[in-house]
Amino acid sequence: MITTPSTIDGLLDYWPGNIPFKGRLVSNDGSCMCAQGQALHFLGNLTVDELRKISQAAADSRVAELFGISVAHSVLLRIVNDSQEGAPSSVIRNPEQVLGDQAQIVLAFWRHLDRMTPAAWASAGAAAREAAWAAAWAAAWAAAREAAPEAAPEAARAAAGASNEIQGAAVMRAKGLPFFFLPLFSFSDPEAVIAASV
């Protein structure tokens, strides 16, 4: 008999044997849900009809609240659920498996993004407008756009670039490359992100 998960740990334990639906919060017939859909249904008490009506940005934010994580971390849960086989519980329980050895700094930076004001987003966007863009990382990009939809796209790209810089800090330092995106968010380097989160 399958027990309906009623806690975060219960849901994380449930996922490995019950791989969530992919592509959207709930299937057309309501019988299958993605990881976010299950979290919102089992833990957030949303009905199947409410899952059909909620916007993805609102779902990302609600899942972040349920798990006590950043919106970008919630987006990552969605992206991993929709793009990879296996248990999405690793996104929560073992983020290093998905984000690499700099996961805790990336997660701290994403929490910082959630705390930014519209004025701070505008400032980051203004400072970034003349930059040449590297490939933006999807979770940081999507979360930044959801956190400040009125902010310039440059600010969202800068947030994604900063996440990339955190992940690639060792390579950048080995090549003597300066950090460009992190200073747009008032961090001189990845270590400053951790220092600010303490």
Q: pLDDT tens, 143-152?
A: 555 555 555 5
Residue 177: domain span: 103-197
Together in a domain, 107 and 188: yes
In this structure, is residue 3 part of a structural domain?
no
- Going from the C-alpha of 49 to that of each of 38, 53, 106, the distances in angstroms are 13, 6, 34
Tell me the pTM: 0.82
pLDDT tens track for 126-143? 766 544 333 234 555 555
DSSP tally for the chain: helices H, then strands E: 14, 0
Residue 127 lies in a domain: yes
For 33-80, how does the pLDDT look when each residue is reduced to its tens digit (9 = 90+)? 999 999 999 999 999 999 999 999 999 999 999 999 999 999 889 888
d(CA 61, CA 55): 10
Rounded to 5 degrees, φ, ψ at 31 are -85, -20
Rounded (to 5) percent helix, strand, coil in the chain: 65, 0, 35
* Lookup: tokens for 197: 């989160």
Asked if the structure places residue 166 within a domain, the reply is yes
Last residue of some domain: 78, 95, 112?
A: 95
44 with 70, same domain: the answer is yes
Same domain, 113 and 86: no
- Is residue 36 domain-shared with residue 115, that is, in the same domain? no
Number of domains in the chain: 2
Mean pLDDT, the chain, whole residue set: 83
Give strand pairing partners of 26.
Answer: 33
